[in-house]
Structure 1
Amino acid sequence: MGGVRILLLAAVAVLATGCQAEVAGHAAPTGFIVKDGTQLRFRPVLAELPPGPATGSAGDRQSTDPAVQQAAAQAFDCAQGKPDPLGGRDDPALPLVSCDRAQGTKYILGPGFLSGADVSRVDATLDPQTGSSVINLSFTAKGARTWAEWTGQNVGKQVAVVLRSRVLTAPAVQSAITGGETQITGKFTLPEARQLARDIAGG
Structure 2
Amino acid sequence: MTWRRMAPWVILVIIVVAAFIDIPRKTLGVTWLPNKVGGIGFRTVLGLDLQGGIRVTLQAQPQPGATVTSEDMDIARNIIEQRVGGIGVSEPQVHTETSNTGQRRIVVEVPGVSNESQVRQLVGSTGQLQFIDPKGQQLADGQDVRPLVQKGTVGVLFDGGEIQPGSVAPETDQGGQLGVSFTLKDRGKATWCAFTTANVQKPGPIALDGKIITTPTIQSAICGGQTIITVGSGSTTAEAQRTSLYNTLRYGALPVSLSEVGVDSVAPTLGAHFLTQALVAGGIGLILVLLFMIGNYRLPGVLAALALVFYTLVNYAIFRLIPVTLTLAGVAAFILSIGMAVDANILIFERMKEEIRAGKTLGPAIEAGFNRAWSSILDSNVSSILVASWLYWQGTTVVRGFALVLIIGVLVSMFSAVTVTRTMLRYVVRTEWGRRLALYHVER
Give the TM bin, normalised by the shorter chain: 0.3 to 0.5
Rg larger for = 2
TM-score w.r.t. the length of structure 1 is 0.47
Please identify which structure carries the higher strand content: 1
Tell which has more relative contact order, 1 or 2 (C-alpha 8 A, sep 6+).
1
